[in-house]
A and B are shown apart, each in its own frame.
Chain A
């Protein structure tokens, strides 16, 4: 069981608020996608979950225990780029996690233990579709293959939570689709919680069982930095009834994260199209309407 609780998190840089009043509870085995216009603070949210940054106030708990204030092996991560070590082969990149965790040069796995680790790493690489490339260095792999490697590297640590920061943002559409299949597969088989930041609405609806839209509720056009963002929409999707992908429209492709208005409109249309697949709606925007 892994339950992530974000409890009234505020984050500001100098005097500029980025996030305010962010509270959400993610139950075990959730696939949570975080959407939002650029600059809204969705990556900041992920960095807080990763302990790359500490919230100005509020806290994050996993199973009721506040997360450590440094990145730790209980939370794995895949970034958009630079997630793998360029000086190690694919196999070594996957083996390095357990090796590092085992401790120093003298306590690292040797002999039978090392062979066991090697086999585990190799089968994990096989699983993510890199069985043929275990001796290649990252620079010899394509962008999609590097991300597969990064996922395998994180998976071998069996983290409770896997954090993904726009992991497929730099990939072409076909590669992206095959990566979606891979990540859903791994998520279902390993029963972990995934939190993924993306600016691709289609991706968010395709993968997520939970969609959080991080955006500004209050916006002062004369002082755009006056208010921080919060969770404006919080959708729970039925994992067994994924929203129809047929709603992919031209404008979805054009959804620009630089234009908050178009993003909000397209998000609303997607929510509508998702229909019965949406089990529950929440978020600050809903509350604002209710008032």
Chain B
């Protein structure tokens, strides 16, 4: 009998094990749904898979009679546009602010405490301010995402700039590099892998702020739809939407990891001496 942690699964076993909890969850849902529906065929809490299919068919593959749109895809498009715009602006801001603030001592002394304080403001608490300032349109939703994600990313960039060994900065000077050259050619590439990781970790927060903003004031979007149909207890719409959002988040996470491997090949090498 070996110690428990010395039992390591083979690859096929590992894949099977990874699938198991998902299958288990589906089975438990099916049993629960079956039992409830047997008791009350009009039960709305745990609809059967076939009613998911019907609801989704109506939203995703049937033209809306009033607007002529495919609601599901329109919701997805609107939400992703907001999310990606917000994240894009956040990344641009965190590099434009984080790199100089992390690298130049005068800027660091001046802005680091302020950014630290700023990043602690709960974004949802200022959502009313954003609605007042920017109206109920797209701007306030995008600003909320930026507000929630950019300060965290900026601090992270500034901190990882400080972690680059001083020797490298000295070395770059002996090679005749200017401040701007050091920032763009020495520091930026070394900060990128960390930025990709932080961005992946920020995805959850970004989705949270998006759905919160859409729930409160919106005319479309995945979060809007979920909160709209909640009034009718339409679990047959809410559950597939939640699964879809999860899938989208997972795919974005995966895409960012792949982009990091592609853009920062040096960071993802196996540490094997030649």
Contacts and interface: CB of A to CB of B under 8 A. Distances in A.
A97 interface: yes
B139 to A, nearest CB: 34
Nearest to A75: B174
B174 A76 contact: yes
Interface in B110-167: 165, 167
Nearest to B172: A100
Q: Is the interface of B mostly helix, strand, loop or mixed?
A: helix
Contact of A153 (B175, B178, B265, B272): B175
A227 interface: no
Nearest to B189: A87
A159 B175 CA distance: 10
Given A71-B174, A87-B266, A133-B274, A82 B168 contact: yes
Contacts of B165: 81-82
Nearest to B176: A101
Question: A interface, how many residues as a size bin?
Answer: 35 or more
B189 to A, nearest CB: 4
B274 A87 contact: no
Nearest to A50: B170
A101 B180 CA distance: 13
A159 B173 CA distance: 13
B181 interface: yes
A276 B148 CA distance: 74
Contacts of A70: 173
Interface string A135-172: 01101111001000010011001010000000000000
B172 A79 contact: no
Given A73-B175, A87-B264, A142 B273 contact: yes
B136 to A, nearest CB: 43
B174 A154 contact: yes
A50 B168 CA distance: 14
Question: B interface, how many residues as a size bin?
Answer: 20 to 34
B266 A137 contact: yes
A139 B266 contact: yes
A79 B169 CA distance: 12
A158 to B, nearest CB: 12
Nearest to A138: B266
A77 B168 CA distance: 10
A87 B260 CA distance: 13
B176 A52 contact: no
Contact of B274 (A72, A97, A142, A154): A142
Contact of A97 (B168, B175, B272): B175
A183 interface: no
A153 B173 CA distance: 13
B186 interface: yes
Contact of A86 (B173, B175, B180, B190): B190
A71 B274 contact: no
B186 A140 contact: no
B185 interface: yes
Interface in A121-138: 133, 136-137
A256 interface: no
Interface string B231-274: 00000000000000000000000000000000011110101111
A77 B167 CA distance: 9
Contacts of A133: 274
Nearest to B265: A137
Contacts of B269: 137, 139-140
Contacts of B56: none
Given A52-B170, A145-B274, A100 B175 contact: yes
Contacts of A88: 266
B128 to A, nearest CB: 44
A72 B172 CA distance: 9
Contacts of A83: 167-168, 171
A254 to B, nearest CB: 29
B137 to A, nearest CB: 38
Contact of A72 (B167, B171, B174): B174
Contact of A157 (B174, B178, B265, B272): B174
Nearest to B273: A142
B178 to A, nearest CB: 8
B177 interface: yes
Which of B170, B189, B272 has the largest number of chain A CB atoms within 10 A?
A: B170
A85 B172 CA distance: 9
Contact of A100 (B176, B264, B272): B176
List 9 A-B pairs, minimum CB-CB distance, nearest first. A101-B176, A82-B165, A71-B173, A97-B175, A82-B167, A100-B177, A142-B273, A73-B176, A87-B189
Interface of A: 50, 52, 70-73, 75-77, 79, 81-88, 96-97, 100-101, 104, 133, 136-137, 139-142, 145, 150, 153-154, 157, 159
9 contacts: A81-B165, A81-B167, A83-B171, A85-B186, A88-B266, A97-B175, A100-B178, A140-B271, A153-B175
Given A82-B168, A83-B171, 14 more contacts: A70-B173, A71-B170, A71-B174, A77-B171, A82-B167, A83-B167, A84-B171, A96-B185, A100-B172, A100-B181, A136-B274, A141-B274, A142-B274, A157-B176
